[in-house]
Amino acid sequence: MDYPGNLFVVAAPSGAGKSSLVKALLELDSHLQLSVSHTTRAPRGQEKHGRDYFFVSEDEFDNMVKSSAFVEWAHVHNHRYGTSKKVIEERMSVGADVILEIDYQGALQIKQIFGNAVTVFILPPSWEELRQRLERRGEDSAEVIETRLANAAVEVKQATNFDFVIINESFERALFDLKTIVHSQRLKYLAQRRAKAPTFSALEID
């Protein structure tokens, strides 16, 4: 199936800077909408239901899985996360450009469903830098950091399955790279024809 707009999927190991990059991109690009996921994990800090995630119980998540309410879902760090069909269909119906910030398993599922989705993988510049970023964040215990690093060693190998790879060494450079990917996708023939249909008709281009 083709998504009738531009669909971007960003994945990365934790600590690679994915959330900050996507947040900065959304502030710069008002045509891009973030899809809010469902999760079984509890809210952290200032997180708000419906804005950061739809926080649901294990039973609610089970029911959504049973009723095929998710386009994709996955187990990540001992919790479950999923992209609801309803959220995607609402955006599809208006042809909006959507960005999904999800883990690599979900990203690969989305690519299988929507062949025209653009997948982007963010890499840290080195293991040392990733460790330092996780430590600086101060969110996790030493044990959790070790688990995240061990997971990251597996996750980085997934970069090979993605359309684009960004190495987040400098935040500004990585943001520029992400903006470039979004912009280039919008300039593709099919995307331009969809977005600028009257111009194409006036020029009598099929």
Q: Using CB under 6 A as the criterion, which residues of the chain lie in contact with ligand 5GP when the complex forms?
A: 37, 41, 72, 74, 76-77, 81-83, 101-103, 105-106
For residue 167, list its beta bridge partners: 123
E strand spans, 85-199? 97-101, 118-123, 164-167
Q: Among residues 92 and 191, whose Cβ is nearest to ligand 5GP?
A: 92
* Least distance between ligand 5GP and beta carbon 132 (Å): 18
Between CA 190 and CA 180 the distance in angstroms is: 18
Which among 102, 69, 73 has a CA at the least distance from the CA of 87?
A: 69
* Least Cβ distance, residue 76 to ligand 5GP (angstroms): 4
Q: How far is the CB of 58 from ligand 5GP (least distance, A)?
A: 15
CB 9 within 8 A of CB 122: no
Which residue of the chain is nearest ligand 5GP when measured via CB? 106
Of residues 5 and 106, the one with the C-beta less far from ligand 5GP: 106
Q: Strand 79-84 and strand 70-76: pairing?
A: antiparallel
- The answer to whether the beta carbons of residues 120 and 10 sit under 8 Å apart is yes
Residue (22 or 181) nearer to ligand 5GP, CB:
22
The smaller minimum CB distance to ligand 5GP, of residues 72 and 97, is found at: 72
CB of 197 to ligand 5GP, least distance (A): 32
Shortest Cβ 35–ligand 5GP spacing (Å): 8
Q: How far apart are CA 144 and CA 123, in angstroms?
A: 20
Give, as one character, the DSSP assignment of residue 49.
B
87 or 181, CB closer to ligand 5GP?
87
